[in-house]
Amino acid sequence: MSTFGDLIGKEAPIVTLPDQDGTSYELKPGSKGVPTVVFFYPESGSFGCTKEACQFRDAVAEKVTFQQGKVEIVGVSVDPVQKQKDFVEKYKLNYPILSDEKGEAVKAYGVGKGMFGMVSVARVTFIIDKTGKVRDALDATMNYGKHAPFVAKWLDKLSGEDDGGAQEEVTNAEPQPAAGEALAATA
C-alpha cells in the first residue's frame, strides 16, 4: 500500500470528483500554471475541519499568495455532495470542496486513517508546484491550525523560486514524523 509520503517528488495524481454543487471537477495539479494545495480532512462541519477550512478561506481573502490566479486550493473529504454544499454555503468557503464518497482521491493520494485509526480520513495537506510535482505534505490530524501556516510558508518559497531568488528551506515549526511514518502507525 502506498502512502502520501511516496508522492513527494512525483507528479500529483489526477482525479475527477463532484464538487459541492455536484459538478464534475477535474483536479489536475499543474494544469493552471500555479501551485495547487489539496487538503484532505475528516468531516465537513466538524469543529477542527471547520476551523481549518475557514483558515484557508480567510487566507484567500487576506493574503496575496493565496489569491485566485496565484494558487489553486481544493478541499476533499468523503462526505456526500449535499453535505459539502451545506458546508460551503454555511461558512462561505471561496474554493472548491470535493466529495470523495468512494475514496478514489484518498486512495490515489495515499491518505490513510487519522488519529490511530479512529478517524476515517487523516488531515493531510499537499503542496504541489506549478508543474504538478508534489513538493511536500503535512499530516497533522489533531492540529488543524498548522495547515494554513504550512501552506503560506510553501507558497512564499515557491514564489521565490519563480522570482529566481533563493529561499530558505521550508520546515515545520514542530518536528514531524518522516513522510508516511504516522500513516503507517494508523493503517
Q: Is the pTM of this model over 0.75?
A: yes
Task: Report whether 66 contacts 73 (CB < 8 A).
Answer: yes
pLDDT band at 117 (very low <50, low <70, confident <90, very high): low
Query: What are the cell numbers at 100?
Result: 470523495
The share of the chain scoring above pLDDT 90, in percent, equals: 69
Check residue 61 and give its pLDDT: 92
pLDDT above 60 (res 1)? no
* pLDDT, greater one: 160 or 78: 78
3 state SS of 123: coil
- Report d(CA 72, CA 68) in Å as an integer: 7
Mean pLDDT score of the chain: 86
> What grid cell was written down for 8?
513527494
Q: Residues 71, 34: contact at Cβ < 8 Å?
A: yes
- pLDDT band (50, 70, 90) for residue 2: low
pLDDT digit string (tens) for 48-98?
A: 999 999 999 999 999 988 988 899 999 999 999 999 999 999 999 999 999
Query: Active-site residue numbers?
Result: 49
Smallest Cα–Cα separation from 123: which of 19, 43, 3, 57? 43
Superfamily of domain 4-186: Glutaredoxin (3.40.30.10)
pLDDT category of residue 164 using cuts at 50, 70 and 90: low
